[in-house]
Structure 1
């Protein structure tokens, strides 16, 4: 397997017929690709394109955009997990549909999805809908809890932006990749900047 580091133009690669191409992404330089690379290597990828970039910013994933545009009919795109590929369920489905129209196979190892089969296509849409439902449910429960707290007088005005329990919950969402910072902030009813400020002291205290 050839490993193509982020920053190297995909166009420079020698294109193989019916290539099996892996894609690995981490959000920050402090994170490791190793877990994803080991899994992609185990399924026989011809090469892997990897990059560092936030899943919430399309412009932060130039290697993915270049990779998608260079895939050909009968190629296979393999990812460790679906959230490595897209920022949202809507984008994920759009990418899958585009690849399907171009007869490019999509595999997700963690969810055991293969879109070349009817069962795989069905499972892809089911997993996507479940993931979106779970995020919406979490956000709804959080908003309901905040409204109940305000109604009982426990949260008044702007005296307290995020309670310690909310910060812990946000850290759990982010650590499990269940939500992005923007999604977690929305679920908690605060801005992304407020969430980041609340998380920073917590990180310092844990050092």
Structure 2
């Protein structure tokens, strides 16, 4: 049986998920597991775990691209081992790669290593770009949301509301409310 797996990192990527589902169906996947979660932690992908659990000897796991399955070579090799342990194989559509052959297994390992290398280079370039933007004064990071509401926090506290109620009303964390109140108190004491 050919079993497809489709994944996007966020729910905002609906078009990407639909494209994968269509491609898997065209490739002959009889059953498809799909999810919209980050691949950073393999334990956080319940549909992938369900797929692996139901695999039987002779099954073929079909994915559109390797990065839909794993984020690192180690993760990829571990998942491939789980698939092989069940007597199944892996097919990657965009690479026309099939691990049921010796050549396919060799190429699979090489491509996985190259994909991880590319990802590491991309992250390195991203860090360098952020550092350059910070040095040029163009990158300020995320705008602090709670600090922007500090005056309103103080008003609500003055009106007799508690931290939990203030946090809920302003849609900020309780810890942020306490931090704002503590900073205000410190400013009052030093004045």
Fold match, TM over 0.5?
A: yes
| Structure 2: runs of 5+ lacking an equivalent | 144-191
TM-score normalised according to structure 1 size? 0.59
1:72 paired with 2:56, answer yes
Q: Which residue of structure 1 lines up, in the alignment, with residue 87 of structure 2? A: 103
Residue 145 to residue 77, structure 1, CA distance change in 2 (3 Å): closer
* CA distances 1:45-72 after superposition (whole Å, capped 9, x unpaired): 1111111212224343111111111101
Q: Which residue of structure 2 lines up, in the alignment, with residue 44 of structure 1? A: 28
TM-score normalised according to structure 2 size? 0.63
Deviation at 1:131, TM superposition (A): 1.3
Deviation at 1:98, TM superposition (A): 2.2
* CA distances 1:57-107 after superposition (whole Å, capped 9, x unpaired): 434311111111110111111011111112322101111122123221101
Query: 2 CA distance for matches of 1:83 and 1:77?
Result: 14
Q: Which residue of structure 2 lines up, in the alignment, with residue 120 of structure 1? A: 104
Residue 80 to residue 161, structure 1, CA distance change in 2 (3 Å): same
Deviation at 1:118, TM superposition (A): 0.7
1:21 paired with 2:24, answer no
| Structure 1: runs of 5+ lacking an equivalent | 1-18, 164-193, 199-207
Query: 1 CA distance for matches of 2:54 and 2:100?
Result: 19
Q: Conserved in 1, the CA contact under 8 Å of 2:91 and 2:99?
A: yes
SS of the residue 1:44 aligns to: coil
Q: Conserved in 2, the CA contact under 8 Å of 1:100 and 1:115?
A: no
Greater helix share, 1 or 2? 2
Number of matched pairs: 141
- Which 4+ stretches in 1 moved above 6 angstroms? 144-147
